[in-house]
Each structure stands twice: as C-alpha cells, then as structure tokens.
Amino acid sequence: MADINLENADPNFKYELAKQPGGEKIMACFTCRTCTASCPITAVNERFNPLRIIRLALYGLKREVLSSDFIWLCSSCYACQERCPQGVSITELMTLLKNMAVKEGHAPAGVRAQLDLVKTHGRIYPLDDFDNKKRKKINLPVLPTSCEVMKDLIPD
C-alpha cells in the first residue's frame, strides 16, 4: 500500500465516531494489541486487524477506514471487545463503521446484492413456485414469493 499522508485526513472523524453508539471510547485505545491477538481474522491474515482500523480512525483517515475490507470480514465474535482493557467497544465500532460505509457507498457487491434480495423477497434466499410445490408435497403451507412491505421499510 502507498504511504499514508495525513494531508487527506479528516481530523473530525474520531470525534464523529465518539458521538455515536459503539465509538464512545475509541480514543482510550492505548495500542496494547490485545484485540489483534484475540482476533480470529488476524490469525488467518495479519493484514486485517482491529487495531489497524482503530489507528486509521484516530489518524482521521475516514476513506481508508470505510473502504477497508476488514470491517466486513469481522466475524463479530466479540473476543476483542471482551478482552479490551480500555473498554473500547470494538465489535460495536465495526457495526457502526459498516453502517457508515453503506451510507457513504462503500458497501461491497455481495452486501449490496443481499440487500436487493431482502428488499424484493423479504428474505435472504429467494423463494419461487418450485419451492412451494415441494412444500405442498409434505403438507407445508405455501409461502409468499415476494414482500411488498419491505419496499416501504427500505426506501431507495
């Protein structure tokens, strides 16, 4: 990756995070690396670790954080959050960052496709007539294949 230049940093980013649920204590981080040591994702690939995200956020590198793959790779196992000696809600911070990323248009393709599915079908796996035929065979009720109410719940 290219060198980091803080000229493009947004100094208000950390304060912005600190105002929202999950980011309150982000500035308490004292880089002990306990989160990194606990993280099952880091065990697979060292490039991805929670501390890196926190450090980037503290530098104010908003774009780098929100476009980072890690926030989506996070398995939400809560190991880091449980062990953080400074009480940083790391897993909840990841949720917050995911929400911010979607708002800023940084969501990965898979997540966007899933969103479309939920929007049109009301569930994460599409259901069609073939499925209903099979359900009838074993005397299960027919399920609707589309969900109009979702369109109201998730506006464009």
Partner 1 sequence: MNISPRVLVVGSGPVAQLAALELAKMGHQVLLCNQAESIAGNKHLWGSPDDRLSELGSLKQDLRDDPRIEIMAPTRILEFQGSPGNFQVRLKGNDEARTNEVVGAVILSIEPFAMAHFESWGVKESEKIKDLSWVESILSSSGNDPLLSGDSLRTLVFLCGFTHHSNPFSQKRAMEAAAKLVLEGRNTVIFLVDQFQVADYGLERLTHRAREAGVLFVKLTGIKPEIETGSNALTVSYYDQELEEKVTISPDCLILEEAYKAPKEIIHLADILGVTADRKGFFQGDNIYNQPIHTNRHGIWVVDSAKGFVSLQEGIEEAKAAAMDIHQFLGKGESITAYKRLLFDEAKCGKCLTCYRSCPHLAISYYEVKPVFHELACKACGICAAACPMDAIQIANFTDNEIIEEIENAVQKRHGHNKEDNVSLVAFCCENSAFDSARMASLNGLPLPNGLEIVRVPCAGRVDQHYVLKALESGADGVMIIGCHDESCSSVRGNRLAKKRIEIIGKALAEVGLEKERLFFESCAPGMGWEFSKIATKVEHVVRELEKGR
Q: Say whether residue 6 binds partner 1 (CB under 8 A).
A: yes
Q: Say whether residue 37 binds partner 1 (CB under 8 A).
A: no
Q: Say whether residue 32 binds partner 1 (CB under 8 A).
A: no
Q: Are 88 and 54 in contact (CB under 8 A)?
A: yes
* d(C-alpha 26, C-alpha 29), whole Å: 6
Q: Minimum CB separation from partner 1 for residue 100, in Å?
A: 18
Residue 45 CA, chain-centre distance (Å), reads 18
Site for partner 1 in 54-93 (CB under 8 A): 55-56, 58-60
Show Cβ contacts of residue 151 under 8 Å, excluding neighbours closer than 6 positions: 119
Measured from the CB atom, the residue of 21 and 87 that comes closer to partner 1 is 87
The residue ranges that bind partner 1 (CB under 8 A) are 1, 3-7, 9, 11-12, 14-15, 27-31, 33, 51-52, 55-56, 58-60
